[in-house]
Structure 1
Amino acid sequence: MSHPSGDQPQHNLSRRALFTGAGTAAFAAALGLPIPFARFLPEGVIPVALAQDGLSGKEGLTILGDRPLNAETPVHLLDENVTSAAHMFVRNNGLTPSLTDEDIANWTLSIDGEVERPLTLSLDDLRGDFQQVALQLQIECGGNGRKFITPAARGNQWSFGAVSCAEWTGVRLSDVLSRAGLKRSAVYTGHYSADLHLSGDPEKHAISRGVPIAKAMEPHTIIAHAMNGDDIPLLNGHPLRLIAPGWPGSCSQKWLTRIAVLDHEHDGEKMTGQSYRIPKTPVAPGTEVADADMKIIESMPVKSIITAPQTGHRVQAGDVFEVHGHAWAGDNDVAAMDVSIDFGATWARADLTRPVNRYAWQHWRADLTLPQHGYYEVWARATDNDGRMQPATQPGWNPRGYLNNLMHRIAVFAL
């Protein structure tokens, strides 16, 4: 398709207009072209050419939805030992806040509720008044793998790329809570943030998750103000986000503004009903499960990915080639990593590194040889330090398609 200037159109729609739902006339103006079937564009859906613009600073991500914006990382782009800002997935429940320099300069975090000394902390307070820590911490969406659930579960159809392990710099949440002085009645946290509800109603929260006090006081749960030594990308929570590693990424609240300490389990948005919950006992696929029979997801299951080579790789039969990737296990460590080229009939042990710190993912590698011309698959299987092993197929069914840790596999052709 050609354009009057001979160049691609310039998309001049502001980020705020993009994420808060501009009309089709504004979309057409931003594209520099009419939209002949604009009358059929569902309300709140952004043209994909503009939705990609919403991924400023990202590279190669696949958009799964544009309202809210959600995008996953193709697995081969996760080959870095430390996930770059460009390759970190995006998981939103509401609308990305539009923040000015003044908003950032005046940002505060409040700590209140079941504490002796409620606090209001600026970014400078967090940087200057508390010990700074820098940790590689994995974050994974609870719905990672939902695409492979049968029968299908509603929600973003993540495959394997809703996971990351960046280096986060910030302060331990335990240090901040200790400064506030936890009361004996404190049992849970409730997190609040600056993202907007999809309705645009400022009285509604897009998401408000929390964690038990024991997880909040775990020394790797941090309030982060930097990622990989730079500002956190806006789409990943700039200027402040919580990192509760090993648990569903929804616990790691972005654009953090308040932590309420509670004397009961938090009941904020996306904490109740079926959200981020699984059945208390196994159920048959497709079963309707009452809310009272669901439990909150805490530690994520053991999982691994093959980041190289990409699926479809071609190699000469008899030649050695390397396969490698990452593995992680929620609150646990990965104890063993195995690979198979015969659909799981036999397994070979892969080399596995120790994590650089708790909750960092672990890197693995193996040298493989395909014995003769033909089609092969490389299967990767991680086992955690409690002996729990990835299954070859979905491990069980739940209404929202959470916690699918089936093995990752790639196709390889021997020439």
Structure 2
Amino acid sequence: MLDDASTTPRSPAADTAAPVSDTVEPGRRGFLKGASLGAMGALLGTAIPFGRNMPPGFVPVALAQDSGLGLMDAKQGLTLLNDRPVNAETPAHLLDDDVTPYERMFVRNNGLVPQHALDMNADSWTLTIDGEVENPLTLTLADLQNEFETVTTPLWVECGGNGRAFFQPGASGNQWTVGAVGCPEWTGVRLKDVLERAGVKPTAVYTGHYGNDVHLSGDPDKEVISRGVPIEKALAPENLIAWAMNGEPVPAMHGFPLRLVIPGFPGSVSQKYLTRIWVRDRQHDGAKMTGYSYRLPAYPVAPGTEVPESDMVVMMEMPVKSLVTFPATGAEVAAGRPTEVRGHAWCGKGDVAAMHVSLDFGQTWQEAELMAPPNTFAWQRWTASVTPPEAGYYEVWARATDKDGNMQPAVVPGWNPRGYGNNMMHRIALFAV
């Protein structure tokens, strides 16, 4: 089972197969169903040594499952980190919009995009709320849209491993730099409202989230990812069960037809392709909730330390962070003249308290103008003006501070085995001429 901190295989075993009726997009179904082993081997680019054992009506999972790469055609300027599952980040200068458009929203998948999402078909979709509730619910998309208050709000989502590329020694997994974050506008219903309709029992401790994306093995019985949050966080008013992103149905790559959006916590808890929320009387133990997945050492450790699993704790609130989105790193600016710099800041605790920038490698700092967010857990625009005194090379360092006085550090903080939670300052290069 693969997660954000694992090495992802590039190709499946040649003798793995999947039922053609469940996994192949309609345009290929007829051809593949009747294709010979030789033809399928040609498509794979290799022989199928155990092909004679493949049951009738099956095709190799490598042909049957769409990894989602075709859906990347509409993305603009993203850096592809992995193709199975698809993971791609956005360069900082492409994240300047206050509301992140689809084409610039990062992609973090744990499995393969399910067929219903590729078809954009939600006709038979249901969401189950069960477990430690008085009234278990099974809701259709229409039920959610018609029986609860609809909310539209920008909310940021960030991968817990954003910044992993800067850890030394390095951590395995997708080598995110700074671009695994975005703030689209989401439309849906409050998770709180749905849980209260179900009647959360006093015994409720945690939620467990489930979707129907496809495991990389093709095995329909294997969980791809199933994380959850403490019930207090689940009942907070900012969380959504969303069916639209930027005014359109949630795209296939981002969880069609329903996904959770739980800002402030790692993006892994914002389950895509949402089918079930299991309210539990204990901490959830689904796929990628245990071991080292999305967990941090319970105490500071030296870089490279082997930390026992028993000393790892679940990652919850994301640390305060900011990004320089203009100008792009490496830009030429005029020496002796003011230059505008701007970006966004965000924090797992809620609003950011202050924003500062430095042009002299952190020796002096000037306060940036920090705008109030349109709502809690929308990222905040900041702007500043810096003046390079003479021609030469400069760096803009950006530093956000949360309401408790915690500032972004200049270097990677809190080394941990899986490379989570890096909130070091973002730096860009400027050449004054």
Q: Report the TM-score when normalising by structure 2.
A: 0.85
Partner SS for 1:235: helix
Are residue 108 (structure 1) and residue 135 (structure 2) matched?
Answer: no
Report the Cα offset of residue 60 of structure 1.
1.4
Q: Does 1:122 align with 2:152?
A: no
Matches of 1:14 and 1:80, distance apart in 2 = 34
Asked whether 1:53 is paired with 2:70, we answer yes
In structure 2, the residue matched to 1:10 is none
Change (3 A) 1:24 1:95: farther
- 1:157 maps onto 2:171 in alignment: no
Corresponding residue for 2:164? 146
- Report if the CA contact (8 A) 2:120-2:252 is conserved: no
How far does residue 52 in structure 1 lie from its aligned partner after superposition?
4.9
Structure 1 unaligned blocks of 5 or more: 1-12, 18-22, 37-42
Does the residue aligned with 2:197 lie in a helix, a strand or coil? helix
The CA distance in 2 between the partners of 1:52 and 1:26, in whole Å, is 20
Matched positions, count:
388
- How far apart, CA to CA, are the structure 2 residues paired with 1:85 and 1:371? 39
Mapping of 1:138-217 within 5 angstroms?
138-217=156-235
Judging changes above 3 Å, is the alpha-carbon distance between structure 1 residues 213 and 340 closer, same or farther for their aligned structure 2 residues? Answer: same
Equivalent in the alignment of 1:40:
none
Could you say what secondary structure the match of 2:115 adopts? coil
Asked if structure 1 preserves the Cα contact closer than 8 Å seen for 2:208 and 2:286, the reply is yes
Match of 1:232 among 233, 250, 265: 250
- Verify the 8 A CA contact 1:45 1:67 in the aligned structure 2: no
Instruction: Quote the offset at 1:25 in angstroms.
Output: 7.3
Contact 2:162 2:178 in 1 (8 A): yes
Which amino acid is the alignment partner of residue 72 of structure 2? L
CA contact (8 A) 2:79 2:88 kept: yes
> Residue in 2 aligned with 1:136?
154
Structure 2 alignment gaps of length 5 or more: 1-23, 29-36, 47-59
Amino acid at match of 1:59: Q
Match of 2:105 among 88, 91, 94: 88
**Deviates most, 101-110 or 174-183:** 101-110
The whole-number CA distance in structure 2 between the counterparts of 1:204 and 1:310 is 42
CA distance, structure 1, for counterparts of residue 329 and residue 38 of structure 2: 39
Q: Deviations over 1:198-255 (max 9, x none)?
A: 1111111100000111011000011001111111111011110001101000000000
Paired residues of 2:370 and 2:380 also in contact (CA < 8 A) = yes
TM-score normalised by L of structure 1: 0.89
Please report how far the alpha carbon of residue 29 of structure 1 lies from its aligned counterpart in structure 2 after TM superposition. 5.7
- 1:110 shift after superposition: 0.5
Cα distance, 1:64 vs. partner? 0.4
- The one-letter amino acid of 2:98's match is N
Could you tell me which amino acid in structure 1 is paired with residue 302 of structure 2? A
Paired with 1:234 and 1:26, the residues of 2 have a C-alpha distance of 27
Report what 1:378 is aligned to: 396
Structure 1 residues 104 and 403: alpha-carbon distance in aligned structure 2, compared to 1, 3 A threshold? same
Runs of 4+ in 1 over 4 A off after TM superposition: 13-17, 23-30, 43-46, 100-103
Offset at 1:106? 1.1
Cα distance, 1:115–1:365 mapped onto 2, change above 3 Å: same
Map residues 248-287 of structure 1 onto 2, 5 A cutoff: 248-287=266-305
CA contact (8 A) 2:120 2:256 kept: no
Residues 156, 317 of structure 1: alpha-carbon distance in 2 compared, 3 angstrom cutoff: same
Distance 2:249 2:234 in 1: 23
Question: Which of 73, 86, 108 is matched with 1:69 structurally?
Answer: 86
Structure 1 equivalent of residue 409 of structure 2: 391
* 1:2-40: CA deviation from partner (whole Å, max 9, x where unpaired): xxxxxxxxxxx96998xxxxx99779769xxxx79xxxx
C-alpha spacing 1:160/1:273, structure 2 compared with 1 (3 Å): same
Query: What does residue 362 of structure 1 align with?
Result: 380
**Cα 1:228–1:352, aligned 2, differ >3 Å: closer, same or farther?**
same
For residue 313 of structure 1, the aligned residue among 324, 331, 334 is 331
- How many angstroms apart in 1 are the aligned matches of 2:345 and 2:369? 12
Contact 2:25 2:115 in 1 (8 A): no
**AA partner of residue 94 (structure 1):** G
CA–CA distance in 2 between the matches of 1:153 and 1:109?
A: 36
